[in-house]
Amino acid sequence: MKIGNITSPRELADAVGRIGFLPFFKNGIPGFSVEENCPPRLWFTDEPGPWEWKGPVIKTGECAYGKFFRGKAVYVSLEWLSHLCNCRRDGYDFDARCDDGLVFFRDREIYEIIERAGKISSNIIRQTAGKDTDKYLTRLQMQTYIVNSDFLYGKDKNGKSYGWGTAEFSTPEHLYGDVPRRCYGISPADSYTAIFDHLKGIFKDCNEKVLHGLLKY
């Protein structure tokens, strides 16, 4: 499948809606990334491009963004977020996972910081939770218990944004209500199969082993 040139946040959100999943970077399935479908002229210029579109796309409320595939960033439509949460959580809300002793102490500490705040900058999380925070943030994203809610930029004296942007985190329940739990009535294995079959149907010539490698946790 050819996704086509993506030249604006609206086109990016629409592409995610059509495909269901769209990784930010190249990943082993040709054409399956933002990187491969945005013209080179939009990268690293004075005008907003794919790096700067992340916040606006998240704010459409049409898709989630986080490190969902092998610790790498991916956009996911809300329809498919329900299936992703179901298979990655393996039937556990975060509290239930804690009750069964399946959560590392640092994961719980960081999750609770984010849950209490609603939305919180990664810089503040690091100040509170200490070293190696990024490792725990990535694990919580891979398990779909947290997602990016925005990217925060500094402003120069003219009010223009600058820098790479600081990730802000939230829980998907805070941002999307009951969406993360809508597939809890089916087995996690069935959700995984639904995602795999959906993407295999779009990228018919992809290597199945590569696709499983992206989806498994």
How far lies 103's CA from each of 22, 95, 107, 108, in Å?
Answer: 28, 9, 6, 6
Q: For residue 98, is it within any domain? A: yes
Separation CA 97–CA 17 (nearest Å): 31
Q: For residue 16, is it within any domain? A: yes
Separation CA 112–CA 106 (nearest Å): 10
Poorest-pLDDT segment among 1-5, 30-34, 81-85, 181-185: 1-5
% of the chain surpassing 70 pLDDT? 95
Write the single-letter amino acid at 195. I
Dump the DSSP string for 16-67. Answer: HHHHSEEESS--SSTT-SHHHHS-GGGSSSSS--HHHHHHHHHHTTSEEEEE
Given a cut of 90, whether residue 131 has pLDDT beyond it is no
For β-strands 21-23 and 72-77, DSSP reports them as: antiparallel
Q: For residue 157, is it within any domain? A: yes
Q: For residue 1, is it within any domain? A: no
Rounded to the nearest integer, the mean pLDDT of the chain is 94
Separation CA 84–CA 79 (nearest Å): 9
For 40-77, how does the pLDDT look when each residue is reduced to its tens digit (9 = 90+)? 989 888 788 999 999 999 999 999 999 999 999 999 99
pLDDT band at 215 (very low <50, low <70, confident <90, very high): very high
Rounded to two decimals, what is the model's pTM? 0.94
Check residue 208 and give its pLDDT: 97
pLDDT band at 163 (very low <50, low <70, confident <90, very high): low
Section 181-193 average pLDDT = 97
Q: For residue 46, is it within any domain? A: yes
Given a cut of 80, whether residue 154 has pLDDT beyond it is no
Coil/strand/helix, residue 164:
strand
Expressed as residue numbers, the domain containing 193 is 9-215
Task: Give the count of beta carbons closer than 10 Å to the beta carbon of residue 186.
Answer: 15
Q: For residue 4, is it within any domain? A: no
Task: Give the count of beta carbons closer than 10 Å to the beta carbon of residue 8.
Answer: 15
If one counts the domains in the chain, the total is 1
